[in-house]
Structure 1
Amino acid sequence: MLGPTGRGEPVGDADVVLLCVPDSAIASAARNLSGHRGLIGHTSGATPLDDVDLGVHPLQTFTGSEEPSVFHGIACAVAGRDDDALAVAARIAELLGARPVAIDDARRAGYHAAASIASNFLVTLQDTAERVAVSSGIDAPTARAMLAPLVRQTIENWAALGPAAALTGPVARGDSDTVARQRQAVAEVPELLPLFDELCARTADLSQRKDVA
């Protein structure tokens, strides 16, 4: 096994080259390897296989400080231009300790949007909660320490029970007076009100699904 190599460095006589570059750089990086005899793949979640032979996208969040065990047991979206390339992509996922899941190349953007909502937007949502807590007189580190166990248990409930059964809180109970008081408090950070209102509306929709479940 060769690598990793940096940009501009030769990749050697590798059977498979995985491009771990920004999505916008995949096409040019693949062109630079046009004479390479082996398979070329990328690790993008949303980019189709127009310029490469296969795709391997670990469904995990990375900040740069993780241990290799972060791959163990996670899903890994795989794709290939043909059955052989798909089999290689699946084998790479398995060698990482991940579970390969084949994703239709035409639907990669939707798959990746779901991942972004679940991970990236979750951080944005928790930042919103933290800012509202700070506006109520709780310092940010304390707010995170208080809210983190709630977030973790909510995620566990969602994963185990599904969204309708996991939903709790005043919107789900139809407690409009409490929601109104919450909205008044959120108004202390007025730029957050549109998000709060939209989340209340979507949560009300989900609560109706809960009622009929």
Structure 2
Amino acid sequence: MLFKEEGINNFITELKEDKMNVERINFTYNNQNQSYTLITCDGVPGIAQEADYYENLGENLIYSDMSWLQPICKAFKCKIQANVKVLADGSLDHEHITVEANLMVPKNVGPNIHGFLYPRFRTFVKFYPLVKEIKFSLTSKDFNSQICNIFFTLEFDAKKVNAILRDQGNVNQGVLEQWLNRAERCLLLTRDKAAHGDLKRSVHSFEVINGKANAKSVSVNCHFKNNDTMDDSQ
């Protein structure tokens, strides 16, 4: 389990003391360096709730951990952000979960990007019916470009997650190859446009429908390194 029962109980006690009307629960899982899981909530304090509201909320947090959050984190092996709506009785809306997985690409991957992405994309492709968006974050400078992060946004019913994880069928090779091609295409586009000079960052977003990644938008920014001192008189 990612959550300790004592920690959940303390969290619920604090919400109960504040008479918190919780509207949404957010989960953060970080597997880098010192691994941790964070629970935060959005809501309005000072609103009296039914007697079993906070009991339901606590039980649903533990259920979330065991039923979908821990399996997703174990499968993806990367940073995870997830959020779920809280219903009027304190239970979570497990039928409408949003997850963003942040796959970080180390700088030392170099030209072997295909070799790095292939085994990791195989895992994500198993979930392709649930994937709604893929974003490639890149840096480019002096005709060199590099993928830094790949963000996968998923929307799903909790009941579907373990069914997908239990499925030992073949990975959809067509989806896998298309996603890999999208990554390589983003590298080529930024590399061709990278001129000598300042560092540029770009994010290439793709809407995913039935596994197919369709170009959605591109955002670009340019990083300027300022002088250490500035003359205020000018």
TM-score tier (shorter): under 0.3
Tell me the TM-score normalised to structure 1 length.
Answer: 0.26
Q: Choose between structure 1 and 2: higher strand proportion.
A: 2
Which structure carries more relative contact order (alpha carbon 8 Å, separation 6+)? 2
- Give the TM-score of the pair, scaled to structure 2: 0.25
